[in-house]
Structure 1
Amino acid sequence: MNVKILKFTTAISIALLLSACLRVEVATPDKPININMNVKIEHEIQIKADRQVEELLKENSDLFGEVNPK
């Protein structure tokens, strides 16, 4: 008799728990999502050259513009 009461109580408990669950719905938005990003990229390129190459660039500065060795 206790087994019947336990089964009945379990069934009622499960039914109550399932009926109390909230419905969750995932829907797509009507309008597309716009993401505006302002990105600023700065970079520097530094070239290290040995002294012979620096002298060569100084002699032919009209090819590459002004050379300022550090």
Structure 2
Amino acid sequence: MAGLPMLAGCVTVNAPSEPIVIELNVNITQEVIYRLAEDAGNTIDENASIF
């Protein structure tokens, strides 16, 4: 147990020289079109006499 502190190493952390870039390409078009289509379908069903 006396040699245990000698096994603990020194850890150094250096910041990268260039910034970290995280690209978030999120495609929300499909969800918007789906909601519009669902809403249009509900409107047609509710007002079938005018179509």
TM-score (norm 2): 0.50
Which structure has the larger Rg over C-alpha atoms? 1
Q: If each structure's helix is expressed as a fraction of its own residues, which one has the higher value?
A: 2
TM-score (norm 1): 0.42
